[in-house]
């Protein structure tokens, strides 16, 4: 195992949630990108006399003229990159839109295929058998006459040559001119935000049952979830929040995720994670996945994941005669309230920097039992 | 920052809550042990009897059924062993932290520690986002001038425009960082596979290289770039495609730098439980 890293290499302090880079990492980033480490500092540095935002350079597909475009504006009357209805008139008479830029990217990649180069985007990833079909279709359709701006002006017209345009379309959505990724990373970050917000909302990271209950159960659920993919191969499975955390964590190390998916005991094929599905599909899918999960494993799938419910799941079932049970359940309920109140207090004092409450204090309150309000 | 829900959010009806909360299946216990009809009847009666408790598992100790009871008062911390810590530092062992190593015969799901660290990282992301969604005075002045030139009244909508613009800038910064890291990684991986000739191209259908190495700590990017990389990785097919299309398949075998993101010893220091005797959390002392 690797040596315990020295203090200078650590970046996140879970106590304060500060993120600081080591001197080495700061130096690497500055040299690699010629940018300041802090984004706001970089913007201030770029603004000599008055504050300004970086602009994006977009190239007119028709005449090749380069336009400088603001990224965003608070004035909606201006043309800017984040305007979904961007429509920029070039001096050559062409109107530049997001679709036109995307079509230019696709035409460029077609021409590369026609010149004997590598395939278009989307053909480098599993399922691999699609790639050669797509390249063959491009070659046969455009034999002798590569697509031009006039003959194939839009993404739709360019995709119409395929039998299954939906295999290619996701890789040719509008992307930033300064990004070589096949998807819009800005959109990917925005989509990911809802998950970040949910995790912030539940704050499992500070939950008293994180390691005893939430994570072990979520990990088992994740493994079962993947078994569902092999049992019901052509269905879309919708994850619960807790197993989604493990799914996400796995994807952060792509090679491990890839080989995990491919092993026969898991699913035997690569499972993509599509966070672009519309809510209606997710809702239907979630209901079906819940049923599949319950029928297959006989276990609960969804549910509430707040601290109190997590503590309750962790508890042993109350036994005894009905009257004893009622009393015991009432007592348990009170204990849960106290535990949550305690750990809430811990988190509150951590975030506000007050003097911390002690574990023995919690023990004492629980031992003494409920006290009537005076 | 302080946002632990007052009440169980089962009762809350907001659009942000996931579909599972809206779903009809809401048993809190595993359905392997369903209540018998008699039990259900008793349960209903119990809920009727104490209907304040129903649907309001507000464990705040201040309202509802708890109004019968005095709110608990907890004594202040007394010494190191009394210090509560969530998450518990004992859990963070170096062996379960790193995702590096050779791909084995059997691959496993991520470890609990990695998932817990991921949660911590998401909180850091949330905090970073929040400073742009609700900018301070310096940022307000700067971005008003930079994006409009006029005095701007900052509301939610303006904050969102700013945050999206910041991500867009971060995407450009990510591109620059990723290309360099990708090149460095390719060079390192080529050197490792020394015996093979340069002409042997790593094909997409061969899968990612099987030796997984952690991103070197000195290559760890600033937070805005890390956020973009994180979201990119969560589109595994696109990431796979891009790594091969851009000639950087080695990036697929780069493990997310859990070790660099939070050092093991650092955690112990920060949670004041370096001797490992801190009370494990979640298990109540009387349980």
pLDDT in tens, B161-173: 999 999 999 999 9
The reply to whether A25 and A129 lie within a common domain is: no
User: Higher model confidence: residue B24 or residue B134?
Assistant: B134
Query: Any chain A CB within 8 A of the CB of B137?
Result: no
Query: Any chain B CB within 8 A of the CB of A196?
Result: yes
The answer to whether position A147 is within a domain reads yes
Residue B103: pLDDT band (50, 70, 90) is very high
The reply to whether A297 and A208 lie within a common domain is: yes
What is the token pair recorded at A59?
A: 């190239």
Q: Reply yes or no on whether the pLDDT at B111 is more than 90.
A: yes
User: Higher model confidence: residue A132 or residue B10?
Assistant: A132
Q: Which of A27, A122, A192 sits opposite B241 (nearest CB)?
A: A122
The reply to whether A268 and A238 lie within a common domain is: yes
The answer to whether position A122 is within a domain reads yes
Query: Any chain A CB within 8 A of the CB of B268?
Result: no
Q: At residue B141, what are phi and psi to the nearest 5 degrees?
A: -60, -45
At A79 the three-state DSSP class reads: coil
Query: Any chain B CB within 8 A of the CB of A164?
Result: no
Q: At residue A96, what are phi and psi to the nearest 5 degrees?
A: -85, 125
Cβ-based contacts of B61 with chain A (< 8 Å): 337-338, 341
Query: Any chain A CB within 8 A of the CB of B27?
Result: yes
Lowest-pLDDT range of A34-43, A118-127, A269-278, B83-92: B83-92
Tens digit of pLDDT for each residue in A220-256? 999 999 999 999 988 899 999 999 999 999 999 999 9
Q: Cα dihedral sign for A46, A50, A52, A57? A: negative
Domain range for A166 is 97-183
Q: Rounded CA gap, B150 and A83, in Å?
A: 20
Paired residues of B211 in beta bridges = B102
Q: Rounded CA gap, B131 and A3, in Å?
A: 35
What is the share, in percent, of chain A residues with pLDDT greater than 70? 95
CB interface of A with B, residues 46-65, below 8 Å: 47, 50-54, 56
Domain final position from A79, A112, A129:
A79
CB interface of B with A, residues 154-183, below 8 Å: 158, 161-162, 164-177, 179-181
- A249:B110 CB<8 A: yes
Given a contact cutoff of 8 angstroms between Cβ atoms, the answer to whether A306 and B5 are in contact is yes
Residue B71: pLDDT band (50, 70, 90) is confident
pLDDT at B286: 33
What is the share, in percent, of chain B residues with pLDDT greater than 90? 37
The answer to whether position A91 is within a domain reads no
Where does residue A199 rank: exposed (0-12), middle (13-18), buried (19+ CB within 10 A)? Answer: buried
Cβ-based contacts of B225 with chain A (< 8 Å): 29
- Please tell me what DSSP assigns to residue A206: G
The number of distinct structural domains making up chain A is: 4
CA distance B121 to chain A (A): 7
The answer to whether position A279 is within a domain reads yes
pLDDT at B200: 62
Can you tell me which residue has the tokens 């990917």? A188
Domain final position from A267, A285, A304:
A304
- B2:A301 CB<8 A: no
The reply to whether A193 and A261 lie within a common domain is: yes
The reply to whether A108 and A29 lie within a common domain is: no
Q: Reply yes or no on whether the pLDDT at B76 is more than 80.
A: yes
Q: Reply yes or no on whether the pLDDT at B134 is more than 90.
A: yes
Residue A159: pLDDT band (50, 70, 90) is very high
Query: Residue A310: closest CA among chain B residues belongs to which residue?
Result: B28
Q: Rounded CA gap, A226 and A262, in Å?
A: 11
Q: Reply yes or no on whether the pLDDT at A300 is more than 80.
A: yes
Q: At residue B76, what are phi and psi to the nearest 5 degrees?
A: -70, 160
Q: Rounded CA gap, A187 and B166, in Å?
A: 12
Q: Reply yes or no on whether the pLDDT at B187 is more than 80.
A: yes
Q: Reply yes or no on whether the pLDDT at A82 is more than 50.
A: yes
Residue B48: pLDDT band (50, 70, 90) is low
pLDDT at B281: 28
Q: Rounded CA gap, B145 and A207, in Å?
A: 42
For the entire predicted model, the pTM comes to 0.86
The answer to whether position A2 is within a domain reads no
Q: Reply yes or no on whether the pLDDT at A16 is more than 80.
A: no
Mean pLDDT value across residues B106-112:
93
At B149 the three-state DSSP class reads: coil
Residue A192: pLDDT band (50, 70, 90) is very high
Residue B14: pLDDT band (50, 70, 90) is very low
Mean pLDDT value across residues A85-111:
94
pLDDT at B196: 58
The reply to whether A256 and A300 lie within a common domain is: yes
Cβ-based contacts of B10 with chain A (< 8 Å): 304, 306, 309
The reply to whether A171 and A194 lie within a common domain is: no
Residue B30: pLDDT band (50, 70, 90) is very low
Q: At residue A275, what are phi and psi to the nearest 5 degrees?
A: -100, 15
Domain final position from A183, A202, A232:
A183
Q: Reply yes or no on whether the pLDDT at A206 is more than 80.
A: yes
Paired residues of A277 in beta bridges = none
Query: Any chain A CB within 8 A of the CB of B240?
Result: yes
The answer to whether position A356 is within a domain reads no
The reply to whether A202 and A281 lie within a common domain is: yes
CA distance B178 to chain A (A): 9
Q: Which of B162, B165, B282 sits opposite A212 (nearest CB)?
A: B282
Q: Reply yes or no on whether the pLDDT at B16 is more than 50.
A: no
Q: Rounded CA gap, B281 and B285, in Å?
A: 9
Residue B263: pLDDT band (50, 70, 90) is low
Mean pLDDT value across residues A368-374:
82
The reply to whether A257 and A229 lie within a common domain is: yes
Q: Rounded CA gap, A163 and A22, in Å?
A: 52
The answer to whether position A85 is within a domain reads no
Cβ neighbours for A99, distance < 8 A, ≥ 6 positions apart: A154, A155, A174
Q: Rounded CA gap, B175 and B239, in Å?
A: 13
Mean pLDDT value across residues B46-55:
53
What is the token pair recorded at B223?
A: 């937070």
The answer to whether position A254 is within a domain reads yes
Given a contact cutoff of 8 angstroms between Cβ atoms, the answer to whether A284 and B243 are in contact is no
pLDDT at B56: 38
Mean pLDDT value across residues A343-366:
89
Instruction: Write the DSSP assignment of A97-148 as a string of letters.
Output: -HHHHHHHHHHHHHHHHHTT-PPPTTSSSSSTHHHHHHHHHHHHHTTT----
- B18:A241 CB<8 A: yes
């Amino acid at each position: 195992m690797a040596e315990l890293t020295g203090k200078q290499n650590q970046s996140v302090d879970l106590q304060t949630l500060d993120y600081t880079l080591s001197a080495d990492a700061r130096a690497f980033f500055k040299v690699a990108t010629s940018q300041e480490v802090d984004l706001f500092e970089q913007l201030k540095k770029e603004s000599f006399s008055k504050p300004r935002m970086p602009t994006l350079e977009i190239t007119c597909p028709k005449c090749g003229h380069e336009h400088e475009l603001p990224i965003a504006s608070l004035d909606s009357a201006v043309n800017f990159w984040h305007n979904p209805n961007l429509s920029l008139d070039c001096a050559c008479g062409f109107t530049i839109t997001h679709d036109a830029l995307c079509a230019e990217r696709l035409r460029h990649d077609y021409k590369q295929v026609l010149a004997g180069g590598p395939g278009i985007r989307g053909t480098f990833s599993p399922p691999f058998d699609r790639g050669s079909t797509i390249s063959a279709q491009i070659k046969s359709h455009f034999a002798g006459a590569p697509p031009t701006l006039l003959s194939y002006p839009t993404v739709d017209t360019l995709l119409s040559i395929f039998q299954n345009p939906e295999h290619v379309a996701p890789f040719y959505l509008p992307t930033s001119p300064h990004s070589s990724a096949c998807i819009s990373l800005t959109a990917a970050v925005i989509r990911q935000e809802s998950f970040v917000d949910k995790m912030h909302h539940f704050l499992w990271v500070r939950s008293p049952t994180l390691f005893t209950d939430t994570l072990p159960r979520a990990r088992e659920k994740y493994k079962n979830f993947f078994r569902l993919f092999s049992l019901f191969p052509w269905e879309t499975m919708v994850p619960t929040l807790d197993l989604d955390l493990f799914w996400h964590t796995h994807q952060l190390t792509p090679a491990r995720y890839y080989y995990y998916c491919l092993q026969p005991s898991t699913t035997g094929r690569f499972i993509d994670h599509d966070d672009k599905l519309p809510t209606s599909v997710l809702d239907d899918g979630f209901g079906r996945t819940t049923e599949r999960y319950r029928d297959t494993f006989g276990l609960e799938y969804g549910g509430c994941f707040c601290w109190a419910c997590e503590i309750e799941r962790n508890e042993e079932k109350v036994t005894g005669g009905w009257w004893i049970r009622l009393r015991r359940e009432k007592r348990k309920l009170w204990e849960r309230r106290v535990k949550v109140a305690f750990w809430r207090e811990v988190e509150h004092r951590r975030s506000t920097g007050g003097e911390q409450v002690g574990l023995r204090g919690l023990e004492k309150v629980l031992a003494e039992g409920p006290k009537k309000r005076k | 920052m302080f946002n632990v829900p007052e009440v169980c959010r089962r009762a809350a009806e907001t659009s942000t809550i996931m579909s599972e909360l809206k779903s009809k299946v809401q048993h809190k216990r595993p359905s392997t042990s369903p209540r018998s009809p008699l039990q259900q009847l008793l349960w209903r009666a119990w809920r009727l009897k104490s209907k304040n408790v129903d649907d309001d598992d507000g464990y705040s100790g201040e309202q509802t059924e708890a109004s019968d009871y005095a709110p608990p008062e907890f004594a202040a911390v007394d010494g190191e062993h009394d210090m509560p810590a969530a998450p518990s530092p004992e859990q963070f062992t170096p062996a379960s932290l790193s995702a590096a190593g050779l791909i084995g015969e059997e691959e496993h799901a991520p470890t609990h520690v990695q998932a817990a660290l991921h949660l911590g990282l998401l909180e850091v992301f949330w905090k970073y986002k929040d400073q742009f969604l609700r900018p301070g005075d310096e940022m307000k002045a700067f971005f008003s001038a930079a994006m409009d030139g006029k005095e701007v009244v900052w509301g939610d909508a303006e904050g969102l425009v700013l945050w999206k613009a910041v991500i867009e800038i971060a995407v450009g910064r990510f591109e620059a960082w990723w290309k360099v890291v990708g090149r460095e990684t390719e060079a390192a991986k080529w050197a490792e596979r020394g015996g093979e000739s340069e002409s042997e191209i790593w094909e997409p259908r061969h899968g990612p290289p099987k030796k997984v190495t952690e991103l070197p700590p000195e290559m760890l990017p600033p937070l805005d770039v890390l956020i973009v990389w994180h979201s990119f990785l969560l589109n595994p097919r696109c990431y796979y495609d891009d790594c091969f299309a851009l000639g950087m398949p080695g990036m697929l075998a780069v493990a997310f730098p859990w070790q660099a993101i939070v050092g093991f010893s650092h955690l112990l220091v920060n949670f004041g439980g370096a001797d490992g005797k801190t009370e494990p959390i979640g298990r109540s002392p009387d349980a």
